[in-house]
Chains A and B, each alone.
Chain A
Amino acid sequence: MRLWREFYGLNVNATAGATARDYFSLFQLEPGFSVDEAALERAYHSLLSQFHPDRYAGKAQFEQRVAAQFCADINSGYRVLSDEVLRAEYLLTRAGVNLAKAEREGVGAAFLMTQIMLRERLEEMSPSDGQAREALTEEIRGYYQASCGEFAAAAGKVAWSEAARHWQEMCFLSKLLDDARPRSY
């Protein structure tokens, strides 16, 4: 008797289980891919400084429980909105896009080739070759930023299936960026 996760791909249901609260309105931001980071940060801190469970440490237990639940929502919202990939995914979910279906449809052959080529180059690289890794990281970052721009454009004109494709590109590339990061351990 073991669990078996359905194949959904990266960051499945990052927002499942949260309340129906809309994260953009929670943080009083315009819904969209581009987010005013300073405003997000300010709203996050303002909400936390009022609703953190420590503000209820001396109160009745159920009040602490409600505060903890609400605070968990605030933390989830902040995590999603402050990360480009999760934010893109959230916008898609919010627009009613079926992510599993989008993933089955894939990213297109051209991108797949680019991605495979980048990964091969990374794998051939010695982990200690800091300079080469840094150069490759820059190159991947260029692709990533391009995908972000394309996602934003598609989302702006409500072309969700196109946006979903660029979101998948962002997933691949951010994973690659993480793997390419020079590490001392």
Chain B
Amino acid sequence: MVLLQIAEPGAPTEVQGERQIGVGIDLGTTNSLIAHFDGTDVRVLKDESGQASLPSVVYYGAKGTVVGAAAETYASSEPANTIASAKRMLGRARAEFEDDPYVTLAEGEGLAFNTDAGNKTPVEVSSAILNELKLRAEPQLTGPIAGAVITVPAYFDDAQRQATRQAAELAGVKVLRLLNEPTAAAVAYGLDEHAEESSLLAVYDLGGGTFDISLLRMRAGLFEVLATGGDSALGGDDFDRALAAYLMEQVALDAPSPVQRRIALTLAREAKEALSEVESVSVDVSALSARSEQIKVSRSTLDGLLAPFIERTLSACRMTLEDAGVKTVDRVVLVGGSTRTPAVRQAVATCFDREPLCSLDPDQVVAMGAARQADILVGNRQGDEALLLDVIPLSLGLETYGGLVERIIDRNSTIPVARAQEFTTARDGQTGLVVNVVQGERERVEDCRSLAHFELTGIPPMVAGAARIEVTFRVDADGILEVSAVEQQTGARSEIVVKPAFGLDEGQITEMLKAGYEHASEDMLARKIGEARVEAEALLAGLQAALAADGDLLSAEETTELQRDMTALETVMKKSQPDEIRAATDVLGRASEAFAARRMDRSIQAALQGVSLTDLESAEVEENTP
């Protein structure tokens, strides 16, 4: 491991040593999957009974915690203990679900489900699903899982992404990258990824609970997301509900019990799936009605019920095309089980004037792409692989005087991104201010979503407009936001990593991990020490190599300082205190940032000229030869 190792352009290097194991996880609203790429093939890992899809359902009750198909069997008998579609609620506010007849919320302020086994948050439910997938995969792999790429809808906002990361952390899964689902689907198809001519691809992803439309441009190994759009609360579940409502209406069931609702939903889903194959089905509704009854549902009846939902997806498609300034696309890829519905396929083909691609299973394509990307990120290949450039789905900004939003980063900006804006105080003698970070496209704060508040204090009293406060927004490659504010004259500084307001805080996660989700606490400590040491060793080894190669970039004084911090870390590493090791690693890491940046600068010129570093070195040698 070399500090900021620069791969030579066009020279793929096979990494030495053992092959690391990466997995791709599609954490879906209705079903979840895990897949692995072994260097040759992508394999979706199945359970003992041969099922690839794990229903995203968790049961918490007298029988303990049960995940998947086994949990679904409790859906009718114990609806409140059986949590389905928890992904819809990840990183969302309680208020958004107060009136939802399908969930039983726990008392209190947070968003949690009230079950017989206690209150369960959407993060915990998602974590149980991830854990189940991990347990399923491990015996089928040749070693421990080094990391996972977890997919999220492109439309997921910062809080939803953070919540997904928390769920993974809670399940003991190391996240290599959160990848947008449509991008993963494009990777799975591996379309023209190395073609010189650029081509445009639309990914139409209609899952159980979310709809995404993304436009990607592919050229010479780069996948660029040009624009994304969609609706994070629209999907096949809505189809089921519409048909369930229709069935209940047919038997004049006005006030269904939770159990009856569940039954109606199950009947509706079965009928919907059958109608993808045949023109008409008979539904036995005796469980909903006093008298035994069969209702005939034709495909055209279903199409009529679905039309408003399909139209919503198409209008999002048109909006996204306009956003990207694009009129036509070269290809359309279908993702998500709901794209099996014939009416959806027809509507998409008409809208884009193209027959959509569907040669890969629309339920598995996302997990397959994630597995491919996980293999790259875990370090098994370097140099030649495709690079995925993602964009942020929603604009980010902050509240200014009068409740207006000042946009700092526009939606569809390529990430990572950093942008700064200067502000000043509104009143004479103002010594502090509150930075309200918001997300959304609207002009007024109340129409946007507030992500976080933080305060900047210690501004010396000045007349209004004299202070100069630079606010910087940074979004990393996972789409997660960090905001800092600095008063330029005094250097007063404040910053925040935006945490999901409706998820769990660091402390709660640590608590839950400690409580032994599945690990005993000694295991946890050993794992933490191990991880801290690996990180420390990687840094030390990297720095030593970097000093040997580019030590000339540092002054003697800087070298001494760096070596002092290195010795400090080596001493601390021998102890068994993970926190201390981490702290010392962090100190050394920060101390060497400037060095790393200088090395990067040195390599840029070489990179741009397409000259390899070795060429550069030998050229220097020649110059020195008389």
A45 cross-chain contacts in B, Cβ below 8 A? 220, 222
Chain A positions 64 through 98: 1 when the CB is less than 8 Å from some CB of chain B, otherwise 0: 01111111110110110000000000000000000
Chain A positions 31-85 with a Cβ under 8 Å from a chain B Cβ: 43, 45-63, 65-73, 75-76, 78-79
Task: Tell me if B607 and A46 are in contact (CB < 8 A).
Answer: yes
Assess whether B399 is interfacial by the CB under 8 Å rule: yes
Query: Can you list 17 residue pairs at the A/B interface with Cβ under 8 Å?
Result: A2-B400, A5-B401, A6-B423, A14-B419, A16-B421, A17-B420, A18-B418, A54-B388, A58-B147, A59-B1, A59-B4, A65-B593, A69-B416, A69-B418, A69-B597, A72-B418, A79-B413
The CB with the most chain A CB atoms within 10 A, among B7, B389, B585, is that of: B389
Q: How far is the CA of A46 from the CA of B278 in the complex (A)?
A: 52
Q: How far is the CA of A55 from the CA of B147 in the complex (A)?
A: 15
Contact residue among B414, B433, B464, B470 (Cβ-Cβ distance under 8 Å from A1): B433
Assess whether B263 is interfacial by the CB under 8 Å rule: no
Assess whether B539 is interfacial by the CB under 8 Å rule: yes
Task: Tell me if A53 and B416 are in contact (CB < 8 A).
Answer: yes
Chain B positions 523 through 542: 1 when the CB is less than 8 Å from some CB of chain A, otherwise 0: 00000000000010011001
Task: Tell me if B418 and A185 are in contact (CB < 8 A).
Answer: no
Q: How far is the CA of A72 from the CA of B418 in the complex (A)?
A: 5
Assess whether A152 is interfacial by the CB under 8 Å rule: no
Chain B positions 297 through 335: 1 when the CB is less than 8 Å from some CB of chain A, otherwise 0: 000000000000000000100110010000000000000
Q: How far is the CA of A4 from the CA of B471 in the complex (A)?
A: 12
What is the size, in residues, of chain A's interface with B at 8 Å between Cβ atoms?
53
Task: Tell me if A49 and B432 are in contact (CB < 8 A).
Answer: no
A55 cross-chain contacts in B, Cβ below 8 A? 7, 382
Given A54-B377, A75-B413 in contact, is the A184-B318 Cβ separation under 8 Å? yes
Assess whether B465 is interfacial by the CB under 8 Å rule: yes
Assess whether B498 is interfacial by the CB under 8 Å rule: no
Chain B positions 369 through 395: 1 when the CB is less than 8 Å from some CB of chain A, otherwise 0: 000000011110010000111000000
Assess whether A26 is interfacial by the CB under 8 Å rule: yes
- Residues on B lying within 8 angstroms of A by beta carbon are 1, 3-7, 9, 20, 147, 176-177, 220-222, 315, 318-319, 322, 376-379, 382, 387-389, 398-402, 406, 413-426, 430, 432-435, 464-465, 469-472, 474, 476-477, 535, 538-539, 542, 585-586, 589-590, 592-593, 596-597, 600, 603-604, 607-608, 610
Contact residue among B3, B319, B535, B610 (Cβ-Cβ distance under 8 Å from A184): B319
B600 cross-chain contacts in A, Cβ below 8 A? 51, 66-67, 70
Task: Tell me if B220 and A57 are in contact (CB < 8 A).
Answer: no
Q: How far is the CA of A6 from the CA of B20 in the complex (A)?
A: 52
Task: Tell me if A2 and B1 are in contact (CB < 8 A).
Answer: no
The CB with the most chain B CB atoms within 10 A, among A49, A51, A59, A73, is that of: A49
Task: Tell me if A54 and B433 are in contact (CB < 8 A).
Answer: no
Assess whether A28 is interfacial by the CB under 8 Å rule: yes
B465 cross-chain contacts in A, Cβ below 8 A? 4, 6
Task: Tell me if A63 and B542 are in contact (CB < 8 A).
Answer: yes
Contact residue among A6, A46, A57 (Cβ-Cβ distance under 8 Å from B608): A46
Task: Tell me if B4 and A68 are in contact (CB < 8 A).
Answer: no
Assess whether A153 is interfacial by the CB under 8 Å rule: no
Assess whether A183 is interfacial by the CB under 8 Å rule: yes
Task: Tell me if B221 and A4 are in contact (CB < 8 A).
Answer: no
Q: How far is the CA of A16 from the CA of B472 in the complex (A)?
A: 9
Given A2-B434, A59-B1, A63-B542 in contact, is the A17-B419 Cβ separation under 8 Å? yes
Given A75-B417, A185-B318 in contact, is the A54-B376 Cβ separation under 8 Å? yes
Q: Which residue on B lies nearest to A51, using beta carbons?
A: B600
Q: How far is the CA of A48 from the CA of B421 in the complex (A)?
A: 25
7 smallest beta-carbon distances between A and B, as pairs: A17-B420, A62-B589, A4-B426, A72-B418, A57-B377, A58-B379, A4-B401
Task: Tell me if A49 and B221 are in contact (CB < 8 A).
Answer: yes
Assess whether A110 is interfacial by the CB under 8 Å rule: no
Q: How far is the CA of A183 from the CA of B469 in the complex (A)?
A: 37
Task: Tell me if A5 and B423 are in contact (CB < 8 A).
Answer: yes
A49 cross-chain contacts in B, Cβ below 8 A? 9, 221-222, 387
Q: How far is the CA of A18 from the CA of B470 in the complex (A)?
A: 12
A68 cross-chain contacts in B, Cβ below 8 A? 416, 474, 476-477
Main secondary structure of the interface of A (DSSP, over half): helix
Task: Tell me if B435 and A3 are in contact (CB < 8 A).
Answer: yes
Main secondary structure of the interface of B (DSSP, over half): mixed
Q: How far is the CA of A51 from the CA of B315 in the complex (A)?
A: 37
Assess whether A13 is interfacial by the CB under 8 Å rule: yes
A67 cross-chain contacts in B, Cβ below 8 A? 4, 600
Q: How far is the CA of A52 from the CA of B585 in the complex (A)?
A: 23
A26 cross-chain contacts in B, Cβ below 8 A? 604
Q: How far is the CA of A8 from the CA of B401 in the complex (A)?
A: 15
Task: Tell me if A6 and B416 are in contact (CB < 8 A).
Answer: no
Give 11 new A-B contacts, CB below 8 A, not counting A5-B401, A5-B406, A54-B376: A3-B426, A43-B608, A50-B6, A50-B607, A58-B20, A59-B542, A61-B535, A68-B476, A73-B418, A76-B417, A76-B419
Minimum CB–CB distance for B442 against chain A, Å: 14
Q: Which residue on A lies nearest to B425, using beta carbons?
A: A4
Contact residue among A5, A63, A73 (Cβ-Cβ distance under 8 Å from B400): A5
Given A2-B426, A60-B539, A63-B542 in contact, is the A48-B389 Cβ separation under 8 Å? yes
Assess whether A12 is interfacial by the CB under 8 Å rule: yes
Task: Tell me if B470 and A75 are in contact (CB < 8 A).
Answer: no
B414 cross-chain contacts in A, Cβ below 8 A? 75, 78-79
Minimum CB–CB distance for B186 against chain A, Å: 15
Q: Which residue on A lies nearest to B536, using beta carbons?
A: A60
Minimum CB–CB distance for B421 against chain A, Å: 6
Q: Which residue on B lies nearest to A45, using beta carbons?
A: B222
Task: Tell me if B421 and A5 are in contact (CB < 8 A).
Answer: yes
Q: Which residue on A lies nearest to B593, using beta carbons?
A: A66
Given A2-B433, A60-B542, A63-B4 in contact, is the A48-B596 Cβ separation under 8 Å? no
The CB with the most chain B CB atoms within 10 A, among A26, A43, A71, A181, is that of: A71
Minimum CB–CB distance for B102 against chain A, Å: 30
Q: How far is the CA of A18 from the CA of B589 in the complex (A)?
A: 21
Q: Which residue on A lies nearest to B422, using beta carbons?
A: A13
Contact residue among A1, A53, A70, A73 (Cβ-Cβ distance under 8 Å from B477): A53
Task: Tell me if B596 and A16 are in contact (CB < 8 A).
Answer: no
Task: Tell me if B378 and A57 are in contact (CB < 8 A).
Answer: yes
Task: Tell me if A12 and B421 are in contact (CB < 8 A).
Answer: yes
Task: Tell me if B387 and A48 are in contact (CB < 8 A).
Answer: yes
Minimum CB–CB distance for B146 against chain A, Å: 8
Task: Tell me if B423 and A4 are in contact (CB < 8 A).
Answer: yes
Q: How far is the CA of A181 from the CA of B319 in the complex (A)?
A: 13
